[in-house]
Amino acid sequence: GSKDGSIQEVNVSPCPTQPCQLHKGTSYSINVTFASKIESQGSKARVYGEMLHVDVPFPIPEPDGCKSGIQCPIQKGHSYSYLNKLPVKSEYPSIKLIVKWELVDDQDQMLFCWKIPVQITS
């Protein structure tokens, strides 16, 4: 679904094996390297937990991509490193799910979209 960009690398840390074991009360580092196919003044992240084919919004502390390592405005043909944190709250249930991370441009088009299987554990 990455229409306006192409992903070069996704790194979730620490996550030595998939599904990622996400421990409650811990934050995980997200690093996505992507190349933009368009120009955009800004970018916004949307994160979901995919359970039983339903997307449940997953709040992240900083949805603004321009405050997450991306130098804005975004230029066509340039590569960017997007850096963020995925906090796993202690009140989250212990379940297996898919995390879906999207970054959209000014026109609400996908700069990137990726999914990773996770297991939330105590």
Q: How many residues can be counted in the chain?
A: 122
Distance separating alpha carbons of residues 38 and 73, to the nearest angstrom:
11
Torsion over CA of 58, 61, 64 and 69, rounded to 10 degrees? -110
pLDDT of residue 53: 85
What's 5-120's CATH class?
mainly beta
Mean pLDDT of all residues in the chain?
94
Whole-prediction pTM value? 0.92
pLDDT higher than 80, residue 69: yes
Tell me the residue type at 74.
I
